[in-house]
Structure 1
């Protein structure tokens, strides 16, 4: 049975102004399972006005920081209580494994607990200014209405990353989820109502980028944009936001190196490489899509990876024994297959996969075999451009300096992995690699306590950790004269 969703604006579910909906497809079955409202400029305007009204005039505007924190912790409890239902909704929408989505949603409340605890610890400072008879201090105030644009691979996780620090800072939000995976975001809004958030604090406008996303970014009453997606779209968001001098955070793509030295535990490294590229069907910005392996162990490690890849179970993402689910969207499936063709044309040799995955349980979905290319050089497109799928490029290196040179030779700088038993080398590598995050002898670990984000074309700003809340605050300096007499000369600067 097809479910019909509504927008969420000013605390209420409502139909889109244009009266149109569009299909959302289950990537595993290829069938329509829900109707998503097609929002437009009028809906964006209504949502932003509601958010601004809540920010400036409603109960949210006068609520204490401690009270905000209590609401956030209550929301975390509600997510925890409804984790399985929310995870199943995400799997129907994006096709990722239930095991992965359930783990993400069960972990999701930690962001509300963590930032809820920070809400009443946002402090200014008294400055011992060098001018007599003046009291000077700073305060931290919410930046304003926040536009949160989330990607299709982990919608609820991105809501936590973006909205928890924004709400803790006292902002209000308008969320625009991907048109491919909007259902779980709309379901989540019911929990914000149950938690007791005032109307207008959370709003969701679904639809297409040109009709809703662009209008939201351009809206004059939006003060801050936080976006997760491709670097191409991120640049367009950045350019549009610059016209209004808006604050921007961008979490964009990656072409992350997973670097294995010849002293590494090869079994652990092989598991880490598989996790880095085949987990989530490779549809993750931190995918370790470039395996840099020391030439002396290259063949041994590739053999292990091929053997592990052949054991991967491809199929229904709802089943606990399945390792790889479908690609989420038809355009992404085509992109992955096109890159596989490009890799072959450039001279890379495919030693695993490289085809559409077929079988009696796979015919209706968008399945790609886990794929490994060897004989890759770092100047090939397959080594330089983000595929966002289960496609690994293997590149050999000779020594530490060679690994650093190749690892940094991309436009991206999101993440990197290093596998070595040499602690000195580990420290040197973490310093030399140009990336926002470096894992040593592990991969793809995240926490609400640790900043997440990249450099270069991988984005701006950080999500999670103490730094994240600063992205949603403005500093105000206050000067108070304690003198009973006016200045001697009012025509000069004090």
Structure 2
């Protein structure tokens, strides 16, 4: 089984600790996908120093030259699409079609940001001095540290790396331990594309050592983090303590509202796709299903009929619709929330058990769960589960639906199904979420659009699209006058 090394200053090197970490297939705990380095502080220091030195020349390249390199990386990634998607499926469990779609999204993100190198990066401003020129330009932060999660091991690192690089920063990437093999293969694409040494560095290892090291490192000027709210708050505290810029995307408890005039078949399909694809392991996944009482029973019947058809299995099997939880710890978390839901008085209508049979015994499989009789105070209605669990909540009006939808600490994404323009406008205006979708599932955002949440879901600065420039650069105001 292959051992993957760190990528520091253009070289693949083993960690000085001489320790490696096994990446286990969540569909079969006995299968090892590969080994990655269990790095120490020495490797992080080397990566930061390499990035700092490389940034001097990297920032001086033209935006178009940096864009050419991103476009070449996209081409290499495209040539390896099936291989990297297969690794993703084996390493974190999502189905092969989903993994291919995510990898294709990574390619598209790279090509989008390659074009950013030729777009404007400032404005001319009228000066009060008629003999002067006043304008703004944007400058890179310097060295940025990227801490990425396991649920989107291609798309999320790329949607952080691509804007960081095109705007002239250099990068130290710390991927999630569970999907570091996939991350290493993505970085291989950048290396093959000819990225200069030190511009992109990969350091694998534990969060307590490498993740915390990025938070604390005086040589890192900005940190972009996606993960749990608990760790996100640690990132914020550490960054503020030393004056580094930070960007956080931390999760959601995302509702779908089904109005009494909704197309119920459309709403059911979107609820299942938004809540259960990727085994519910998306920050934008639907977890609360708020349904008006007039259509509640019909919606519930249609939903249960479709959920019962879901085939749970290995992500590489052609007939599998939903793969395993990404790890044993994540499986235990999901099962504990299902137990908590029952204990707090919700009614488990379907699923919620460890999936067994048909070769599933050695994997981290769980049946998709559907609850009803859920009220807003229950744990399954308040806390992010990050698993295939849907909580049905019956309401009498859209106003009540919005009140319940907003009654959580998170505000990432939300959707509504309705034909009524008044319902749509009320939802758009009153829903406390950074992403609101009408007659579409809660999960997903287009790569050219800003992405981020309100309340505890985000630090406020947006990822993706042209909004990414706000985090990865600073504005420099320039005043020029002839002598």
TM bin, normalised by shorter chain, reads: over 0.9
Gaps of 5+ in 1: 484-494
Q: How do 1:44-83 residues align onto structure 2 when only pairs under 5 Å count?
A: 44-56=44-56, 58=57, 60-83=58-81
Q: Give the corresponding residue for 2:482.
A: 482
Supply the distance in 1 between the matched residues of 2:404 and 2:472 (Cα, whole angstroms). 36
Which residue of structure 2 aligns with residue 299 of structure 1? 297
Q: Contact 1:168 / 1:469 at 8 angstroms: preserved in 2?
A: no
Q: Which moved more, 1:187-196 or 1:4-13?
A: 187-196
Report how far residue 362 of structure 1 moved: 0.5
Q: Distance in 1 between matches of 2:422 and 2:143?
A: 46
Match of 2:452 in 1: 453
For residue 238 of structure 1, report the CA deviation from its aligned partner. 0.7
Report runs of 4+ in structure 1 exceeding 4 Å deviation: none
What is the CA-CA distance between 1:480 and the residue it aligns to? 3.1
User: Could you say which residue in structure 1 is the equivalent of 2:91?
Assistant: 93
Aligned length: 480
Shift of 1:358: 1.0
1-side partners of 2:121 and 2:370: how far apart?
A: 51
* 1:4 matched residue in structure 2: 3
Verify: 1:393 aligned to 2:391, yes or no. yes
User: Greater Rg, structure 1 or structure 2?
Assistant: 1
Distance 2:26 2:121 in 1: 46
Distance 1:450 1:476 in 2: 25
Shift of 1:133: 4.7
Alpha-carbon shift at residue 132 of structure 1 (Å): 5.5
Give me the whole-angstrom Cα distance separating, in 1, the residues matched to 2:131 and 2:451.
Answer: 44
Preserved contact between residue 135 and residue 482 of structure 1 (Cα < 8 Å)? no
| Aligned residue in 2 for 1:234 | 232
Whether the aligned pair in 2 keeps the contact of 1:259 and 1:291 (CA below 8 Å) is: yes
3-state SS of 2:117 partner: helix
What do you get for the CA RMSD once the two structures are aligned? 1.2
Pairing of 1:250-399 with structure 2 (within 5 A):
250-399=248-397
Q: Is the 8 A contact 2:62 2:117 kept in 1?
A: no
How far does residue 427 in structure 1 lie from its aligned partner after superposition? 2.1
Deviation string 1:294-334 (CA, Å, 9 cap, x unpaired) is 01111111111111111100111101210111100111111
> 1:149-164 alignment to 2 at 5 Å?
149-164=147-162
Measure the CA separation in 2 of the matches of 1:311 and 1:132: 72
The answer for the alignment partner of 1:172 in structure 2 is 170
Q: 1:47 to 1:5 in 2, by over 3 A?
A: same
| Structure 1 contact 256–416 (Cα < 8 Å) conserved | yes
Q: Which residue of 2 aligns with 1:33?
A: 33
Distance (Å, rounded) in 2 between the aligned partners of 1:447 and 1:132: 43
Deviations 1:27-59 (A, max 9, x none): 001122311100111111100111111101x4x
Structure 2 gap ranges (5+):
none
Whether contact under 8 Å (2:157, 2:175) holds in the other structure is no
Find the counterpart in structure 2 of residue 14 from structure 1.
13
Question: Distance between the aligned counterparts of 1:132 and 1:190, measured in 2?
Answer: 52
* Residue of structure 1 in register with 2:123 after alignment: 125
Match of 2:464 in 1: 464
What is the deviation of 1:67?
0.6
What do residues 317-375 of structure 1 show as CA deviations (whole Å, max 9, x unaligned)? 10121011110011111111111111011000000002111113210000110000100
The residue number in structure 2 matching 1:420 is: 418
Please point out which of 223, 226, 236 is paired with 1:225: 223
1:23 deviates by 1.2
Q: How far does residue 107 in structure 1 lie from its aligned partner after superposition?
A: 2.2
What is the Cα deviation at residue 127 of structure 1? 2.3
Partner Cα separation in structure 2 for residue 476 and residue 374 of structure 1: 54
User: Is contact 2:59–2:169 with CA below 8 Å preserved after alignment?
Assistant: no
TM-score by length of 2: 0.97
Task: Give me the whole-angstrom Cα distance separating, in 2, the residues matched to 1:451 and 1:422.
Answer: 27
